[in-house]
Amino acid sequence: MKTIGRWVLLTIVGASAAYMGEFILIEEKLKGIAGLLFGVGSVLVVLGLGNMVHLLWLNKPKNKVKYDAKIRTSKIEAKDERKIRIKEKAGWKTNIIIFYILMALTVVFSLIGIDKIVVTVLSGVFVFQIGLGIFLFNHYAKKM
């Protein structure tokens, strides 16, 4: 079986986390951590089970041909220059839109009197995005 062991392990870890969040951490002061553990555990269980079912489906002989054709197609598409440029342009446009939305949210939240910590975190994310953009631009300018 193709790496099914790691998905079984992920499912077990998720089930353990969900169990701890729901039944072990029952004190009132641990309610936030319990909810977080239950949520993360549930996600890990679903992720593990979904991937196990997918791998079991792939291991059936009748599905092997479909899977091999899909892998071959994805390898060809990964090297397609047009699709690479489209992804780069879409990523750039998404970055610009998120930049303006984040800037507007920071200004609006500061004007309507939302908690200072929320505005500070938004401002930090905003500054991080600018810094990361400058860093990546310089990195790729040297690399290409």
54-89 tens-digit pLDDT: 888 877 888 877 878 888 888 887 788 888 888 889
Per the prediction, the chain carries an average pLDDT of: 88
Supply the pLDDT for residue 2: 55
Which of residues 98 and 67 earns the better pLDDT score? 98
Question: Rounded to an integer, what distance in angstroms lies between the CA atom of residue 18 and that of residue 38?
Answer: 4
Q: What is the mean pLDDT of residues 2-8?
A: 81
pTM of the predicted model as reported, rounded to 2 decimal places: 0.52
Question: Rounded to an integer, what distance in angstroms lies between the CA atom of residue 49 and that of residue 115?
Answer: 40
Supply the pLDDT for residue 20: 94
